[in-house]
Amino acid sequence: MSTHVNTLPQVRTWRDIQQSIAPKAMSSEGRKRLQVATVKTVAVLFSLCLAGWGVYEGMRTWEQNPMAIKSPVKSAPVKYIDARSDGVLDKSWVTRTLALPKTAGLMELDLYALRNRLLESGQVRTAVLTRKFPETLLVMIEERSPVLRIRTQVGAAPAKDLLVARDGVIYEGVGYEPTLIATLPYLADVPLKLVQGRFQPVDGMEKVADLLSTARANIPALYSGWHVVSLARYALDGEIVVRSKDIKEITFGTRESDFFKQIAQLDLIVETGHVQADHPAVSINLAVGGVQVPVVFEKPEGTAPGEKKNPATRPATPPSTIRAEPQRPSAYFTNIHFPSREF
C-alpha cells in the first residue's frame, strides 16, 4: 500500500529577491545638516571646557593675588577720606597712615591691605573701610585705651615710654593729652617679648585694668598716688603689687571676682592707720582674704639700739604685723556703687 503526501508549494516574499541595486547615497542637504550638528557639538564641548578653565584660574588668582583681578570699570580717583573714631585719632593721622596715591581709584583700593596699615599702630583695635561712591573712602575706627605706661629700650636705642592697653597690647600712642598720660602708673616686673619689631601682649592685664578702674572710681585720692604696678608675683601667686607715694607696697589678690572689697578695706585701713604722721603704714597685704588684713607700720625715729631712751621722746616701735579688722565701710563708701570695668 503506498502513501501519497501532498506538499504545498513554499511561499516566497520580497526579502528573497536578490537586491542587486546599491542603496541610495545621502543627499547634499543631509550632509550639510550632519556637519552643522557636529560643529555645534564640538563648540558646546569647547565652551564648557573654556568656562571650567576660567573658573579655575579665577579662583586660583583670588586666593593667591586678589589685586590681579581688576575692575573693568574705570573709577574716579579718591578725593575725600571720611574718618571717624571713638578715640583721639583724627583724619590727618588716618590720611598719613593710609598714604593713598593721588591717582588711586576708588575701585582699585585694596581695602584689606589698607586696614592692616591702620592696625599696625596697635592703637587701633578694629577698622572698617567702605567705598562710598563716587569718590569717598569711609574709615571707621575703634581705638584701644591706655591703662598703664611701660619703660622700654631696644638695643642701643634710647629708652622710651610706651602704653599698655586692657588686652595687654603695647603701643606708642598718638594724640593723647600729656596730662592724661602723666596720671597712668608704670608697669614693672614683666617679661617683654619682641617679635618682628613688635612687643607681644602682656598677660594678666585684664585683672590689672579691673583693679585700676575700681580704685580710680572709688578712692581717687589714693589712686592718684599710685605710680608703679608690679606683676612679679602674678604668675605664681596671683598677686598684684602697687607702690604708691603714701604706702610703699599694697598687695592685691586676684582670687576674688572683683576688687571692690579689697579697695574698701584699703580705704578703711588708710583712714585709721595714718592718724599719726610719724607712724605710716609701709605694707598692706589685702591678698590674704577675709576681714583681717596684715599691716606693717614703719619704725618711727627713736633712740639707736643700746642708747638710753629719752623719756621726752616717744619710744621706738619695732616693725610688726598688725591685724586691721574693718568693721564698717568708710564714709567714702556710704553710697556703694559698682564701678565700670572700662576706662
DSSP character string of 255-266: SSS-SHHHHHHH
Residue 127 confidence (pLDDT) above 80: yes
Q: Residue 268 in contact with residue 260, Cβ under 8 Å?
A: no
Same domain, 164 and 238: yes
Domain count, the chain: 2
The beta strand positions in 246-297, using DSSP E, are 249-253, 281-285, 293-297
Does residue 208 belong to any structural domain of this protein? yes
Euclidean distance between CA atoms 148 and 165, whole angstroms: 7
Q: Are residues 155 and 218 in the same domain?
A: yes
Q: Is 224 exposed, middle or buried (0-12, 13-18, 19+ CB in 10 A)?
A: middle
* Same domain as 252, residue 170: yes
Residue with cell 562710598: 132
Claim to verify: residue 198 and residue 179 sit in the same structural domain: yes
| Sign of the alpha-carbon dihedral angle for 294, 298, 303, 305 | positive
Q: Three-state DSSP class for 140? A: strand
Spatial distance between the Cα atoms of 199 and 163, rounded to a whole number of angstroms: 11
* Cβ atoms of 129 and 115 closer than 8 Å: yes
CB-neighbour burial class of residue 318 (10 A; exposed 0-12, middle 13-18, buried 19+): exposed
Q: What is the mean pLDDT of residues 121-147?
A: 96
**In this structure, are 180 and 321 located in the same domain?**
yes
Domain end point (choices 114, 143, 172): 143
Q: Percentage of the chain surpassing pLDDT 70?
A: 72
Q: Is 50 inside any structural domain? A: no
In a domain, 30, yes or no: no
What does the pLDDT read at residue 4?
57
Of 115, 143, 171, the residue that ends a domain is: 143
Q: Of 97, 190, 95, 91, whose CA–CA distance to 147 is shortest? A: 190
Report the C-alpha gap between 185 and 150 in whole angstroms. 9
Query: CA-based angle 269:274:277, to the nearest 5?
Result: 165
* Same domain as 121, residue 224: no
Give the pLDDT band (50/70/90) at residue 25. low
Identify whether residues 132 and 276 lie together within a single domain. no
Instruction: Flag whether 34 is in a domain.
Output: no
133 & 203 share domain:
no
**Which range marks the domain in which residue 120 is found?**
80-143
Give the model's pLDDT for residue 209: 97
In a domain, 16, yes or no: no
- Collapsing DSSP to helix, strand or coil, 117 comes out as helix
Q: In terms of pLDDT, which residue wins out, 267 or 257?
A: 267
Give the pTM: 0.67
Considering the domain architecture, whether residues 127 and 244 belong to the same structural domain is answered as: no
CATH number for the domain spanning 114: value is 3.10.20.310
Beta strands in the chain (DSSP E): 80-85, 124-132, 136-143, 146-152, 160-165, 170-171, 186-188, 194-195, 198-199, 226-230, 239-244, 249-253, 281-285, 293-297, 321-324
Condensed to tens digits (0 to 9), the pLDDT of residues 34-75 reads: 787 888 888 888 888 888 888 887 777 656 555 555 554 556
